[in-house]
C-alpha cells in the first residue's frame, strides 16, 4: 500500500458524459501528479499540482481539468468523454521540495471505461 488513495476504482460511463476522479496523497506530500495509461498512448503525464498550484502540464486535453484543494486532495475532471478516453488514470504524490530525488508514490488507479 503506497498510502495514496484513488476513488472510484472503476468507472463506466457513456460518451459525452462528465466524470470526476479523486485522489488523496500520502500524508505530508505536497505534490500530486496525474498520469494516463492507455493501450495506444502508454503512460503519459497529464498535470502536476504543488500545494494547490498548477506546476506543469503535459498532454492534457482541453476537455480535462484538475485542481488541488487546501487539504491537498486532488480531482481530475473529464468532460465530453470520448471512447478514446478509456484508460487507467493514476495519481501519484511526492514530497517534492523542487530539488533532489523525491520518489513518486502511485495510487492504485481508476479504470475508466467509456461506452
Partner 1 sequence: AQTVTQSQPEMSVQEAETVTLSCTYDTSESDYYLFWYKQPPSRQMILVIRQEAYKQQNATENRFSVNFQKAAKSFSLKISDSQLGDAAMYFCAYRSGRKNYGNKLVFGAGTILRVKS
Give residues in contact with partner 1 (CB under 8 A): 2, 31, 33, 35, 42-45, 48, 55-56, 58, 88, 90, 92, 94, 96, 98-99, 101-104, 106, 108-109, 111
Nearer residue to partner 1 within complex by CB, 34 or 81: 34
Q: What's phi and psi for 95, nearest 5 deg? A: -65, -45
Q: Pull the grid cell for residue 88.
A: 487507467
- d(Cα 7, Cα 27) in Å, to the nearest integer? 17
Nearest distance from C-beta of residue 98 to partner 1, angstroms: 6
Nearest distance from C-beta of residue 86 to partner 1, angstroms: 14
- d(Cα 13, Cα 104) in Å, to the nearest integer? 29
Amino acid at each position: 500500500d503506497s498510502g495514496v488513495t484513488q476513488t472510484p476504482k472503476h468507472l463506466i460511463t457513456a460518451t459525452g458524459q462528465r466524470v470526476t476522479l479523486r485522489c488523496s496523497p500520502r500524508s505530508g506530500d505536497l505534490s500530486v501528479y496525474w498520469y494516463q495509461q492507455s493501450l495506444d498512448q502508454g503512460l503519459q503525464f497529464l498535470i502536476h499540482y504543488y500545494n494547490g498550484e498548477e506546476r506543469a502540464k503535459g498532454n492534457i486535453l482541453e476537455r480535462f481539468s484538475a485542481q488541488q484543494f487546501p487539504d491537498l486532495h486532488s480531482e481530475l475532471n473529464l468532460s465530453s468523454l470520448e471512447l478514446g478516453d478509456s484508460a487507467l488514470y493514476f495519481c501519484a504524490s511526492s514530497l517534492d521540495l523542487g530539488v533532489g530525488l523525491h520518489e513518486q508514490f502511485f495510487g492504485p488507479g481508476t479504470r475508466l471505461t467509456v461506452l
